[in-house]
Structure formats: C-alpha cells, structure tokens
Amino acid sequence: MTLAPPTPARPRPLPQAGPHAWRAADLRPSDWMIPLGTEDAAEIEAVLTALGGRPPAIAAEAPLRRLAPVLRQAATRLDTGRGVALLRGLPLDRIMDAHGEAAGDALLLVLGAHLGRAIPTGAGGGLVTRVSSPLAGAARWRFHADPADIVALLTLRQPPEADPVMLVSAASVHNEMLRNHRAELEQLYAPLPHLLRTVATEHVVDLPVFSGASGAFVGRYAREAIDGAQRLPQTPRLTAAQVEALDLLDALCAAPGLALRLDVRPGDVLLFNPLMVWKRRAERIASAEPEEPGAMQRQALKLMLLTESSRALPEGMANLDAQAAPGAPPGMVGG
C-alpha cells in the first residue's frame, strides 16, 4: 500500500510583541525622528565635494566621522526597533545650489553606502529613482512593501496640498487580524502567486505575505505583484477566501489610529524596513483625468538597499530581493 505524503502543517500565527508592533497613537516624534545639525550637513557637503559627483562604491569612500554613528543608530532602529527613522535638518536647497541638481542622488548614495548595498531599481539599472504622488482623486492608495531591506526616500518637494506620507506596522496589522480574523490571517501565511519581473523576463513565484519560518517575523505585501500574476493565464486563480483576506488586509492597513502620518519636508530622509513597515503608495486609477503639467505633487528620490544584518527570509523571498527588476510595476506611481 502506498502511503500518501503527509499534509504540510498549517502555519500557526503567533501574536507579535516588541517595538516593531506599534500603533500610531502610541508613538512620539522621538520614536522615529533623528535631528541633524549644521555640522552634520557640512560633513555631507564636504564628502560630496570630494567625490565630485562620483557615487561611492563603499562607505570608506564617503567618510562621515560625525554622521556614521548616527546612521548606525538608525540602522539598529530599522532592524530591531520601530523599523522607521526620519533624518531631519539637511539644507537641501543649499546643497543643490552648491552641487547641482544631481546632488540629491549623490546625497542618498552617500548615506546608503553607510547603511547597505544599493540595488538597481531605475530604468537602465539606475540606483536612484524619482517618484511622485498624484493629486487626490487620481489614485487608489494601498500599503506596499518594496523588495529590499531598507528603503531611503529623500523628499524634494512637499506642497501643502499633497497627501502626507503614511506608514503602518506590519506586525500591528497582523495582530489585528489575529484577534478578529484568524481564518483570513492564515490565508496570508500560505504562499500566493506573485509576478516577479527581472531585467530579461517575468515569472511567477509563490510567496506568503506573513512568515515566521526564519525565526523572525517577516511581513511583505505587494498587492500589485499578486494582481499582476493573476493577469497571466497560466497562474492558478486565487480562491474567494484568498481575495477576501487580501481585501481585508487593505482595509485594516488604512484603519484609523493604526498608520503613522508623517508631514515630511524638503530635505527629510525617510528610512524604513519594508519587512516590518509598509508605506502607503498610489496606484493610478485608469478613469482618472490626466493631471495638468506642474500639478502640485510630492516628489522624492528613492534608494533601495540590501543589508547583511537583515533578518533571514523564508525560501523564495530571498529570490525576490536578489532579482528585483529595474522600474516600478506598471501603474504604480507613488513613492
């Protein structure tokens, strides 16, 4: 008699506790803000001058004696703390006046060299990409996790009319589902088809939204990659229960009191760990009226990094990091 293979045990979600499981109402500015002073700015400007527009390959090419310990503190917050840090105080206008329009890219790359290894994300394999957020009514907002260990965003423009940056703790969303929607949460521990784009091709990989398989909590949500896989005829269709769980996840991320609202300013550098913190992102609505040229949008520069100290990923998620393709998925316009 041939025995059937054992059925894999269903994942057993556990409550998440610790600094990474935060609610916006419980945070103070000191939990996420790291102020920078005039001497920190002067040090960065000196490095930019010495590099002459050349991106640093390693941290030693961009020595920051004052700021390097601050960046190490930020990296610790991202890895084992709240998962988010905001560097505030850089005089962006002065830096760009002195070093040109490309100074924003160079500034991000200098900071990134002290935090991790930059990965190509822009068209043509560029490391820094420009992102913008559409006006209200032109997009549908969803929370999203990029395929990286650290995301760095340098705000270039933040008009008063533009929507604020919104961040949510993946662990707190997880805990909300565990308390009231356990069956739906278990759907998100099972692998779901994701569309993975590489430089040369695209294919589908099965990945969970939540995992503790590596011994540490990991949350990575990319609804556009899940929806993209469903557009391929060879992809197995999501079940009604899976779609319901994803829709519920979208709704809970936007629940009042859970997400942190950040009113960013030009020169702010937002750092967050997308394994722990998800950022609200805009997906353009096809029926929306085209925006007028020069419309008041938030604009930022974006850099994605991999780190050696990041928590281990479940099998399959590592491939998502290693093979991230240049360019944002179609329709994604927000940073």
CATH of the domain at 245: 3.60.130.10
The confidence score (pLDDT) of residue 230 equals 96
Residue 33: inside a domain, yes or no?
yes
Residue 331: inside a domain, yes or no?
no
What are the residues whose beta carbons fall under 8 Å from the beta carbon of 323, sequence distance 6 or more? 196, 198
φ/ψ region of 223 (left if φ > 0, alpha if ψ in -120 to 50, else beta) reads alpha
The pLDDT tens digits for 255-312 are 889 999 999 999 999 999 999 999 998 765 554 455 554 555 779 999 999 998 766 6
The candidate with the shortest Cα–Cα distance to 287, out of 243, 331, 319, is 331
The confidence score (pLDDT) of residue 280 equals 92
The pLDDT tens digits for 73-94 are 999 999 999 999 999 999 999 9
Handedness of CA 210, 214, 215, 220 (dihedral sign): negative
The candidate with the shortest Cα–Cα distance to 64, out of 43, 87, 34, 35, is 43
Task: Enumerate residue ranges in the chain where pLDDT < 50.
Answer: 1-7, 287-288, 293, 322-334
Residue 54: Cβ within 10 Å count: 12
Residue 1: inside a domain, yes or no?
no
End-to-end CA distance of the chain: 57
Residue 201: inside a domain, yes or no?
yes
Residue 304: inside a domain, yes or no?
yes
Residue numbers of the domain that contains 260: 24-286+296-322
The confidence score (pLDDT) of residue 209 equals 95
Token pair of 290 as six digits: 């085209």
State the total domains in the chain: 1
Residue 318: inside a domain, yes or no?
yes
Question: 325 by DSSP, 3-state: which?
Answer: coil
Residue 9: inside a domain, yes or no?
no
Residue 215: inside a domain, yes or no?
yes
The confidence score (pLDDT) of residue 198 equals 65
- Strand boundaries in 177-289, DSSP class E: 192-197, 202-207, 210-211, 218-219, 260-262, 269-272, 277-284
The confidence score (pLDDT) of residue 1 equals 32
